[in-house]
Amino acid sequence: MRKPLIHLLLVVAALSGHRSLALEFPGEFAVTYDLYSKGARIASMERAIARSEDGSYVYQSDTRAVGFIALFRKDHVVERSLWTMVDDSLRPLQYTYQRTGSKRDRNVSVRFDWDAQRIINTINGDSWRMPTAPNVMDKLLYQLAVMHDLKSGRTPLIYTVADGGKIKTYDFERRGEETVSTPLGDILTLKLTRHKQQSEQKMTLWCAPHLSFLPVKVENVEPDGTTTVAIIQSITGAPN
């Protein structure tokens, strides 16, 4: 399975029908997407968020190869972000990434030690530390922050993310409104783009305002031109 499938930026949420949203952020929800490349369905993804008894949250993403590609590859990727709310901001506690079913299985853990102001990275058993940065996010949690900030009217949409053992900046630009056709119907969205620094890679998100800025479509273009598209298929629960 290609890298854009594994690392596709998806912000996910859920809604039971097209009703108004009145829950306290973030709500508990689950959503499914189908992923396509060159017109063929290559994977399915399910993402969900739930609140723990201690008041923290778990945001999890589960992606599996499907269709013709699944005859040759059994890629299964699970990402998980444990986080909490601090002064109306999302604060990561631990991020994990596990890829199995391929020739290059991978296990990643990123732990945020806020008392010591450090981040502990572990990849396939090898660990190292680096200092934190103000408002730093993990690679899964910042996707919820995009939703939260759009709903709150915050600008600019710039995020500091612990990514690949480094602190990186993700900067999104608004591109106006656009209607997107999905299995849930035609949905009016706000279009956002992010160009990766010093790269031809580009990410485009179509976020639905009446679904608390849930991205109903995501397109990732790699430097070699490979394009992966995710389209929402179903939703349960409700984001806020």
Q: Residue 60 is encoded by which pair of tokens?
A: 């999890």
Per the structure, the complete domain to which residue 168 belongs is given by 3-18+27-213
* pLDDT tens sequence for the chain (240 residues): 333 333 333 333 322 233 333 335 677 889 999 999 999 999 999 999 999 889 899 999 999 999 877 656 778 999 999 999 999 899 999 999 999 987 789 999 999 999 999 999 999 999 999 999 999 999 999 999 999 999 999 989 999 999 988 999 999 999 999 999 999 999 999 999 998 766 778 999 999 998 889 899 999 999 888 999 999 999 988 677
Count other C-beta atoms under 10 Å from residue 177's C-beta.
11
Q: Per the domain annotation, does 220 fall within a domain?
A: no
Q: Per the domain annotation, does 225 fall within a domain?
A: no
Q: Per the domain annotation, does 229 fall within a domain?
A: no
Q: Per the domain annotation, does 7 fall within a domain?
A: yes
CA 47 and chain centroid, separation:
9
Q: Per the domain annotation, does 230 fall within a domain?
A: no
Q: Per the domain annotation, does 42 fall within a domain?
A: yes
DSSP string spanning 157-196?
A: EEEEEEETTEEEEEEEEEEEEEEEEETTEEEEEEEEEEEP
User: Number of folded domains in the chain?
Assistant: 1
Q: Per the domain annotation, does 130 fall within a domain?
A: yes
Q: Per the domain annotation, does 140 fall within a domain?
A: yes
Structural contact between residues 23 and 239, judged by C-beta atoms closer than 8 angstroms = yes
